[in-house]
Amino acid sequence: MTVALYTHADMLDHRPGANHTERPERLTAVVDALSDASDLDLEPRDAPLVEPSDLARVHLPMYVQAIFEAAPRQGMLMLDEDTYMSPGSLNAARRAAGSVVQAVRDVAAGEQQRAFCAVRPPGHHAEPHRPMGFCIFSNIAVAARVAQSCGLKRIAVVDFDVHHGNGTQAAFAGHEDLFFASVQQWPMWPGTGHPDEAVPANIKNAVVPPGAPAEAWRKAFESLMPHVDAFAPDLILISAGFDAHAYDPVGDAFQNLEAPDFDWATRAIASVARKHSQGRIVSSLEGGYGLEALGRSAVAHVRALSAA
């Protein structure tokens, strides 16, 4: 199966600092690894700049305006203790959100069935009213609302980053036509996502303790799939974070996953998509900071998208 690959070189111009974990080389590692995988049938597509009106489907209009107006022309702007903007960051963030938005529009139009968005900055920590954790705009949540505007009414997001997608949860909470399922380490920043947390019925979280074997992570992930199945989505979006890999420096090897685990999880998601969503899946890159492990994991993920 052909997988559309949305990305753009502008996203390399988001430069949050020479020693920042979320560095441009992440995107290069993913795109190069995918290009080197000769068995993949990829259709490259440029990521457009997301429109403010689409961002406002999730973010407060005053927040969108503030980010646009604050974007620096030189130097660095600190948005929070982890999140910075350089002169290229606004366009990069607009391309990142624009990637996922365009992918869901193309899927809704029947132009393709599967897409992977190689993007940075990531998005699943950005809340409707604030940036957070390297994230400026909530790429996947914005895309979910755009998908609904295109006629795909029931949208599920599956998030398998080592950190909880608090921003997506905040955007989805209480909306019966949206569903968020997330597996993450506990305890772990940002301190949300434990199953005991009081959340609406359209949110399901699962956790894995530090140092757990891959089998424990798979069991936690698998516990989410019946809930996604019961929701019967018209489209599944994936927040694909690879920082639970055993050799990821941010995950600090607390989760012992390797590329085959991400392949397995992707195939499980695809099984639900075939049943309810006519196979439609759009995936977007979130975390993953060890370059070699990130590249291998992304290839395994996209390979599973193309095969399942």
User: How many residues are there in the chain?
Assistant: 308
Which of 175, 169, 257 minimizes the C-alpha distance to 208?
257
CA distance 112 to 296: 24
Question: Is 20 tagged catalytic?
Answer: no
DSSP at 1 = -
Report CA-CA distances (Å) from 11 to 7, 108, 148, 221: 8, 25, 26, 30
CA 250 to chain centre: 17
- Considering 59, 125, 163, 245, which one is annotated as catalytic? 125
Report CA-CA distances (Å) from 12 to 26, 78, 93, 130: 9, 18, 10, 23
Classify the phi-psi angles of 244: left when phi > 0, otherwise alpha if psi is within -120 to 50, otherwise beta. alpha
CA distance 178 to 70: 31
H/E run at residue 184? strand 178-185
Residue found by looking up tokens 């948005």 in the block: 79
Which residue numbers are catalytic? 125
